[in-house]
Every structure is written in structure tokens, then in C-alpha cells.
Amino acid sequence: MKYKTIDLCAGIGGIRRGFELASDTKNMIAAEIDEWACKTYENIYHENPRNDVTDIKFKEKLNSIHYDILLAGFPCQAFSSVGLRQGFEDKTKGTIFFDIASIIKMTRPKVVFLENVQNLLSHDGKATFRTIIDTLDRQLNYHVVGAEYNDKGELINVTDAFLRNSKNFGIPQNRPRVYIIAFSRDYFGVHLKCLPSKIPTCRTKKAIFDNLEDILEDEVDAKYFLSSGYLETLEKHIINQRKKGYGFGYRIVNEPGILNPVANTVMATGGSGKERNLIYDEKNGNKYKGMNIKGKRSPINEKCIRTMTPTEWGRLQGFLGYAFLDENNNEKFEFPPNIPQGQQYKQFGNSVTIPVIEEMACFIVKYLNLMYEQFNPLEKRLYSMYGNEFFLCKRIANQLGKNMRNVTLDKLFNVVYFFRQNDFRVKELAEFLNISSARASQIVLQLLKAECIYKEEKGRYRFKNLISVTR
């Protein structure tokens, strides 16, 4: 079965690509406000993602788009340990989740997939994460895979349930991230019992890169090697930090003696992320040591120490060397012309590890298909609907289904579709359903009682728009 997605807070489209690798999905629309990221996204997908999830006009546009899975790597700055630690009090970034929640309420996707930083779990004494899960679970009626509560109704075991590390998914990068997968109770009902209690914990296919050495480039420009002076500064800094009891400092991730080396998290901040992922490169380092190059304050260091290249960061995120290879193993991912190197680091650091997303997407699609196979014909009919049409028909099925045959309910679904933009009389309803006017009057009363329609002037009725973007 082919599923439709929307890609919110899209960055350069890593989440979208993970779902495309997992299944035959079609993305309907994307939203991203960073101009540099938009350029790269457009270069990859040939689509303009310049939309703002906080904009009312964009939300209204989504109301007319039929899709199945909402994807969002919503901004993490407000929740990150390196950010402002203001969470939902951050009026520009921390509240983006609530804009996403309003979109979920309005469009009723079958599945919600969210990604964020590790610190989301602990922010504000765990209140931030509890609010997110509570919004999805209790306010929007979604079953959050892994959400477990104690007798007091408090979330427990959240780290085990939601935190996953890229290094367990075929990529040599220590990158813990929070992944939230939520299935709609309105769509799936009792069938949700087939879902496991946890999201995937590791990659089920062959590793993308067996070790860190596999991601390193054979030939590296001299500019990536540290000057001797800068390396000395870093060495002094880490000594001082350790004396103070701090753990910050540079790290050579593949220095001799380290078994099965793994990179640290590649970061959008650039500088600190590079320093924490220095490489010992004897082959290229011996070529350049002692060399004076433009922009360096002193000669290149004698210890063969360099930063990673943007290409190596791209491999650590699965963009390069995996996600965009064609059938002949040719690399198809590329940045648009004139993208500064700093932006390349930033965009990879801001993005997701695509193989992790792919595994999560395989999980989602597997259980979507499994539950669909369990559906009766009426449930399958509801499954084909979206947004307000689905919500109306679901309400009709829930509130009128006990007193109506499935064939009658199915006809009422057709009525919703046929009359959703127009008002109607009892006589018109009777003609459409091929029933008596008396029976049509009974159905109208039932629909009124279920709050699915309202009465207008001159004996005409209209279906309610139960979900409003402005609410």
C-alpha cells in the first residue's frame, strides 16, 4: 500500500528520505523556513519547501491535503542542553510543537512521527516531554508506542522507550535522539493491540558502514588539518577543563588504541562538533605536516590531526554513501552551487541519521499494513478518508452504527461526501439514499443528535465542519 506524507520542519529532507527508502511513499507538501536548508531541499527533491508551520494560511492549505503520516523534526533549540532551556516558554521555537498539534487535530493523520534531541526527555524536570506525550495521547487520541504509566498516571521508562542511538543502526556515530511514533485510535481502535510495546532498537539489515574508517575520505585537502598552535591550545584547554572537573574538550575519535571507534554526535553548531570529532590521519597528515597555508597562524601540526570533512559528516548521517545512491551505486546527493562549507556542516548536523528513520518507517508501514488486513469492509472505507470527512463519518459510525446496518452507514458516508459542500433537505436525502421521507427524517434527527449536522433556514441542513484550523 502506498502512503502519503507531509514533511514539517523538514530541514534538508532526511526524515522524508528515510520513509521513501522504507516504502513507496509520496510526500504531499513540506515546510521549512531556513533559507539555506530550503535551497538544498529544493535541489534534492525539486520542490519548494518554503512554508511556515506557524502560519495560519499554511495550516488552512493543509486542511485540503489528503495524507497519512505526519513527519516532523521540530526545532530542538528550546529543548537542547546547549540551547536556552526555556522549552515551551520559548515563543519562537518551543511552541512549534503546539502548532504541529493543531495541524494533527485539524487533519487527523493516521500516524505521527516526531524526532528531537535527547534532552527533550529531561527538560524542565521531565515536564516538557510529559506535556508532549499527554497532548498526543489524551488530547488528540493517539496511541504513543512505548508510553507507559504508573498507578499515578506518570510516564515511566521513557529513556528505554523513546531514546535510540544511531550507532545501533548501522552508522558509527554516537547520536542519541528521541523518536516518537503515535497511531490514531480513531482510525485503528481495537486493532492497536497488535502493536509491540517498543519502537525499533537496532537496524535489522546489514550495517551501512562497518566501522569509522569506512566513512573517512582517502584524499583530504590540507585545509582540514589543524595548525600546530591551535592543536596546542586545544590540548591546554582540555587539561584545564579536567582540572575543574568538566568533561568538555577535543577528542580524536580514531586515535590508535581505540577498538571499534565511533564518532561523537555531529552538531549544527559546527565548531564544537568538529573539535569533538577530530581524526588521526597519518597518510594525509604526513604529506602536509609543517606546511604553511593561507589562513593558518602557524604550520600544520606534526601529529596528523584534522577535522572531518563535510563529506564524512554526510556519511555519518547516511546522506552520502547510502540514501541517494542510484541503481549503479552512483552518488546522487549534492548541495546546490555556492553553498558555503559552514552551511554544509550545519545542514548535516541539523538533520537526522537517515538509516534510523528508515528503520522507524519500516516499523510504521509494517503495522499499518497488518492492521489494515484485519479491517472489516466498513473500517476499510473509513480508512480511505481523511481529515474532516473521516472525522464526520467516524462520528456517524460510532453514534449511529448500533441502530443501522453497515450498508446504510456506507450510504451515509456517501452522503457526507456528496453534500459536504452544500446544504440539503430531507427530501434530497431520501432520494439519495433511496428511502422513504419518514426514514430520512429519522436519520436527520439522529445526525442532529450526534452533532454531525445543523439546521439552517427553510428546512435545510448542513454538515458541520467539526475541526477548525483557528481553534
* Catalytic residue list: 76
Classify the phi-psi angles of 375: left when phi > 0, otherwise alpha if psi is within -120 to 50, otherwise beta.
beta
328 SS3 class: coil
- Distances in whole angstroms, Cα of residue 61 to Cα of each of 72, 87, 137, 435: 17, 28, 25, 37
Handedness of CA 248, 254, 260, 266 (dihedral sign): positive
> Beta strands of 283-381 (E only): which ranges?
305-306
- Distances in whole angstroms, Cα of residue 218 to Cα of each of 301, 311, 325: 19, 11, 19
Question: Residue 372 contacts by C-beta under 8 Å, 6 or more apart in sequence?
Answer: 1, 380, 383
**Cross-strand pairs, 34:** none
- Please answer whether residues 80 and 115 qualify as being in contact, where contact means their C-beta atoms are separated by less than 8 angstroms: no
- Please answer whether residues 106 and 467 qualify as being in contact, where contact means their C-beta atoms are separated by less than 8 angstroms: yes
Between β-strands 176-184 and 163-165, what pairing exists: parallel, antiparallel or unpaired? antiparallel
- Distances in whole angstroms, Cα of residue 37 to Cα of each of 21, 49, 287, 304, 412: 21, 9, 35, 33, 46
